[in-house]
Amino acid sequence: MAVRSLLIVLLTATLAACGFHLRGSAGSDLPYASMYIALPETAEVRVWLERYLRGSTNTTVSDDAKTATVTFQQLSDSRDKSILSIDARGRVREYRLQMRYRFRLVDAQGREIVAPQEISMNRDMTYDDSQVLSKSMEENLLWRDMTNDLVNQIMRRLSRIKPKDPSVEDDD
């Protein structure tokens, strides 16, 4: 029993020494006290972003942009579905789902804190016209998974990007 305990402690120490950590367990604290999300309350990205902020950060979600430390602004959100391949009879065999999302953070005075960031991702899905309902449900699940992945990437970027001081002028 003592050998097993020693082995577990040694393995844990080795993993900690190499910098290993579970996804989402490090870097989840943002350098902002409060954040206003400039999206409609029913927007899927807003719902997921609020859930993430309330569940795993010290940043509070503000109801007013004037009282928030920063404002999350969506610059663009495009979602496209295109044909990836067709069979010999001209029927669709695969689709590609593409998502491109741009955002930035500004302070209460409207000065840019985090420059515009773009996230893009693709998912491929097979298609069979004899299974229209199940493939439609699969597509909806893929879009939902992509939105969840998008919010995770947004949070990772916000926790890693050093916010710029808007009071300091750029030397361009």
Q: What is the DSSP string of 89-115?
A: TS-EEEEEEEEEEEEEEEETTS-EEEE
E-strand ranges in the chain read 34-38, 60-61, 70-86, 92-107, 112-126
Q: Which of 10-14, 45-49, 101-105 bottoms out in mean pLDDT, i.e. has the lowest?
A: 10-14
Distance of CA 22 to the CA centre of its chain: 17
Tens digits of residue pLDDT in 88-135: 999 999 999 999 999 999 988 889 989 999 999 999 999 998 999 999
- With tokens 């998502």, the residue in question is 99
pLDDT of 26 > 50? The answer is no
Res 153 pLDDT > 60: yes
Q: How far is CA 74 from CA 31, 67, 145, 151, in A?
A: 20, 19, 19, 12
The H or E element spanning position 44 is helix 44-56
Q: What is the residue extent of each domain of the chain?
A: 25-160
Rounded CA-CA distance 117/122 in Å is: 17
Distance CA 85, CA 24 (A): 36
Task: Say what the pLDDT of residue 8 is.
Answer: 77
**The CATH number of the domain covering residues in 25-160:** 3.30.160.150
